[in-house]
Structure formats: structure tokens, C-alpha cells
Amino acid sequence: MTDMTVGSPRGHLIRHALPLLLGNWLQLSYNAVDTIIAGRFLGQNALAAEGIAGPVMNLLILAISGLCMGAGVLMSEAFGGREYPRLQKILGNTLLFGLLTCAGLALAGILLTEPILAFLDVPGEIFGITAAYLRITFLGAPFTFCCNALGAGLKSVGDARTPLKFLATSAILNAVLDLIFLGIFRFGIVCSAVTTVFAEAVCAALALRHMVRRVPLLCPRGVHWRLEGPLLKQILHYGGPTALQQAIQPVCKVLIQGQVNALGVSSIAAFNAVTRMDDFACIPAQSISSAISTYIAQNRGARKPGSIRAGFSAGIRLEFCYWLLIGAVTALLRRPIVSLFVAGDGAGEVVALGSRYLGWMAAFYLFPAMTNGFQGFFRGMGKMKTTMLATFLQASTRTVCTYLLAPRFGITGIAFSCAIGWSLMLLYEVPYYFITCKKRSLPR
């Protein structure tokens, strides 16, 4: 555990963000390896099927992580204010409510798989394997929630390293199983979904075991496992808007995927490959944002406004440095990156489409780096509706622009749509930041 109310803001942010960055890179590396295995060993149809199912499943996964993120801010406040029984109650109520909700959502997803894919206009030759893949991944929703909730609890008390260890174990296990069953035995893309669910279950079990044995301060006791109306309302006040915010992005991605599907299988495969790079660029920036949120929430609980402003400034500088790194890597290695994901007939067209997209995105990645910094500030200050509205503005603008630009410019039009959406998001967030500083009497 780490008390972020004392010491250097930059030091705390780096120490907290680095394990989050490594964890996200590890998870994204596994996702990329999974996609590479599917594309190289099982063919273009398997790659396209996984690409279509991904945004649909992300709708549920990101909503889960959003609820846990919001609850994590509330737990950070309790930890910063030394309210340890309240901390245990928050985690107990979050786990109980979330597991029940995820079980219901998983069942609904399984029943509605075919109507969802029909709405997305999935090509007939990959409809069956996409449906089977999606139904199995829905079964892992409760395990995904448990991993996220327990991880949020550990991160709220400043421990970002332990969740990284569990994630590493899960990712390595998943990759090894995929190599065995897909690469050697060629069991098919559906087997990839089975190994993913199994790895998530192992991660949840390891996290629960660690918390019980090593972090009793976090562990809910018997009385904490009852849903309390006022507390649950406060959890949903924090976690609800964040869950909606997280769900907005995949909803728009699903709509964008529908537009990509109309461009043909080559564009579907290329877009699936480049969105993996988008994840590498954007999700680690969100890890820095998460560190900013934890730092600010702990100091808000301890009532230290000067530390809040210093932590935000340090976080923005980290976001900018990260963009310099990821922008350079993307610009220099865009063709080799896309080439990893596809081989055989049609590979040349896929590589050309994907590398053109990434050439523009190398510069555009500056925008999500900055927006994530501001999102971390607002989330740490408890202004969840502000982050939700900013995300809605960005995502809706991106979707509308995609429908206008993609038919003419292909997936390159989607890159410009992203830049337009992020730019509008900053135009909303920057002035509101100064308004918030003035209202909360934070030094500017």
C-alpha cells in the first residue's frame, strides 16, 4: 500500500503508473499475439471474426472497468481519509452488485448474439464462427468483473504492482494455451474464446487469494457483504457515469465497425490490425490517467488542494512524454506492425491500408494523451458526469464523421474522424478545468 498524500507527486505518479502501463502493454501484447495467431494459423476469416466480436465484447468489458474505476476513486478517498471500515464496505457492495449484474448481462448477451451480428451486417461466410466466439466470451463477464473490482481495490490503496503480476500470469497462460490449441492442434477460433475465459477465471482466483492472505485491510467482512442502499447509491453515482462513459466508446466502435464491414473483408482485417496499435497508444495513456485519478482522490480525501494541482501538472507532462514515444514508434514501424497480423493472399492490400492509417495516427495520438490527463483530473475530483459528457462529445463526433468520411477515404477517413472528435473534447475540457480550479479554490 502507498499513501500518496505525502511525498513527491511525480514520483508517486511514475511508481503507480508504470505497473499500470506494463499491465496494459502486457494485456495488449497478448491480444495482439492472439490476433496474430488467428490471422496466421487460421486465416483471414478468423481474423475478421475476432475483429467483429471484439468491439461487441468491449462494450461489456469497458462498462465493467468503468464501474470499478468509479468505485476505485471512492475507495481512494476513503483510504486517503483513513476511513478503513468504509473502504471495506465499498468493495463488498461493489463486488456483490457487480457480479449479480454481470451474470444477467452475460445471459442477455448470449441470447441476443445473432440479432447483434445481424445488426452489424456481418458477412455470411463468417457469421457462424463469430456468433460462437462471442457467446463463449460472454460467459467470462463475471470473472472479468471480479478481476477488475479486486484490482481497483488494490490500486486504490496505491498497490498497482500486484494486479500486474496476476495479469501477467493470466496473459502468459492464455498465450500458451492459444499456441497449443490453435497453432498446433488448429482447433479453431472458438477455442481462443475458451482459453480467454479460463485465463480470466485463474486471474480472479489469484487476486482473491492474495487479498485474503496479504491485504486484510481491504477484505470485506460478513457485515460488509450486504447491499446498503445509501452506499450503493454513492457507488453508482461514481461508477455509473464512468461505466456509461466507458461503454460509450465501444458502442461507437460497434457502429464504426458496421461502416468498416461495408468496405469489405480486406478493410475489416486491416482495421482489426490497426486498432490493436490504437490500443497500445491510447490505453497506456489511460493508465497514466488512472494514476492521476488515484493521486488526486487520495489527496482530496486528505484535503490537500495544493497537492492536487501539483499532481495534475506532473501527470500532463507524463502524458506528453508518452506521446513522443508512441508517436515515433508508430511512424517508423507502421508497415512492419501491420505485417505481423496477416499473411498469404490479400496481405499486401491489408498492409497498405493499415500503414496509411497508422501514418496519420502517429501524429493524432497527441490528442488522446492530453484528453486522458484531463479525464484523470476530473475523475479524481469526483466529477464523473464531466468525464462522461466529454467522452460522449468525442465519441459521437467521431462516429458521425466516420459515416461521412469512411465511404470516400476508407479507413484513413476514420483516422481523421478520431482527430476531430478528440479536438472537440479538448475544447470542452480545458476551459472547464480552469472553472473547476476556481470553484474548488485550487492554486492555478
Q: Give me the amino acid identity at 28.
A: L
Query: Radius of gyration (Cα) for the chain, nearest Å?
Result: 21
Confidence at residue 346, expressed as pLDDT on a 0 to 100 scale: 63
pLDDT at 425 over 90: yes
Average pLDDT over residues 148-156: 89
Confidence at residue 345, expressed as pLDDT on a 0 to 100 scale: 62
pLDDT (tens digit, 9 = 90+) per residue, 349-375? 778 888 888 889 999 999 999 999 999
Confidence at residue 440, expressed as pLDDT on a 0 to 100 scale: 65
Q: What sign results for the dihedral spanned by CA atoms 139, 143, 144, 149? A: positive
Confidence at residue 173, expressed as pLDDT on a 0 to 100 scale: 87
Whether the Cβ atoms of residue 2 and residue 15 lie closer than 8 Å to each other: yes
All cell numbers assigned to 287:
493508465
pLDDT (tens digit, 9 = 90+) per residue, 218-262? 888 877 788 888 888 888 888 888 777 777 776 787 788 778 877
All cell numbers assigned to 155:
490500486
Average pLDDT over residues 301-307: 83
Confidence at residue 111, expressed as pLDDT on a 0 to 100 scale: 92
Average pLDDT over residues 105-111: 90
Q: How confident is the model at residue 397 (pLDDT cuts 50, 70, 90)?
A: very high
pLDDT at 138 over 70: yes
pLDDT (tens digit, 9 = 90+) per residue, 179-222? 888 767 677 777 778 888 898 899 899 988 998 888 888 888 87
The winner for highest mean pLDDT among 147-151, 168-172, 256-260 is 147-151
Round to whole Å and give the CA distance between 317 and 423: 19
Whether the Cβ atoms of residue 93 and residue 233 lie closer than 8 Å to each other: no
Higher pLDDT, 259 or 110: 110
Confidence at residue 422, expressed as pLDDT on a 0 to 100 scale: 93
Average pLDDT over residues 331-346: 77
- With 0-12 / 13-18 / 19 or more C-beta atoms within 10 angstroms meaning exposed / middle / buried, residue 48 is buried
Average pLDDT over residues 115-119: 87
Round to whole Å and give the CA distance between 35 and 51: 8
Average pLDDT over residues 27-34: 68
Round to whole Å and give the CA distance between 120 and 262: 10
Whether the Cβ atoms of residue 88 and residue 224 lie closer than 8 Å to each other: yes
Instruction: Name the residue with cell 480486406.
Output: 266
pLDDT at 144 over 70: yes
Confidence at residue 342, expressed as pLDDT on a 0 to 100 scale: 67
Confidence at residue 225, expressed as pLDDT on a 0 to 100 scale: 81
Whether the Cβ atoms of residue 148 and residue 68 lie closer than 8 Å to each other: yes
How many percent of the chain have pLDDT more than 90?
Answer: 17
Higher pLDDT, 34 or 402: 402
Q: How confident is the model at residue 287 (pLDDT cuts 50, 70, 90)?
A: confident
pLDDT (tens digit, 9 = 90+) per residue, 40-58? 666 667 777 777 777 777 7
Confidence at residue 442, expressed as pLDDT on a 0 to 100 scale: 63
Average pLDDT over residues 414-442: 86
The region that residue 87 occupies, defined by phi over 0 for left and psi between -120 and 50 for alpha, beta otherwise, is alpha
Domain boundaries, the chain: 9-439
Q: What global pTM score does this model have?
A: 0.72
